[in-house]
Amino acid sequence: MNRWKFAFTLIGVGWLIVIPILAGTFVGLWLDGKFHTKPILALVGATLGVALGMYSVWRLLRRGMGNRGKKL
């Protein structure tokens, strides 16, 4: 992956973090409404969203670094 392509890929990193967090939170809020457990499932959903977002960014960075990632 050349440098410019990697740079443009990094522009979208924010979305890799925000979308899973929002999705997890909204699903958690919806489930909280169904099961009357507010705010437990919303917090669980947000936490899972953070974990998924971090994992997505980690995979993106590993792919972008190529062989250089093995030196870390």
pLDDT digits (tens, 9 = 90+) for 43-56: 999 999 999 999 99
Are residues 27 and 45 in contact, defined by beta-carbon separation less than 8 angstroms? yes
Question: Pick the residue with more confidence: 60 or 28?
Answer: 28
- The pTM score is 0.78
For the chain, give every domain's residue range.
12-63
The confidence score (pLDDT) of residue 9 equals: 74
Residue 22, SS3? helix
Q: Which structure tokens are listed for 34?
A: 């169904």
Q: What percentage of the chain reaches a pLDDT higher than 70?
A: 90
Q: Side chain identity at 12, as an amino acid letter?
A: G
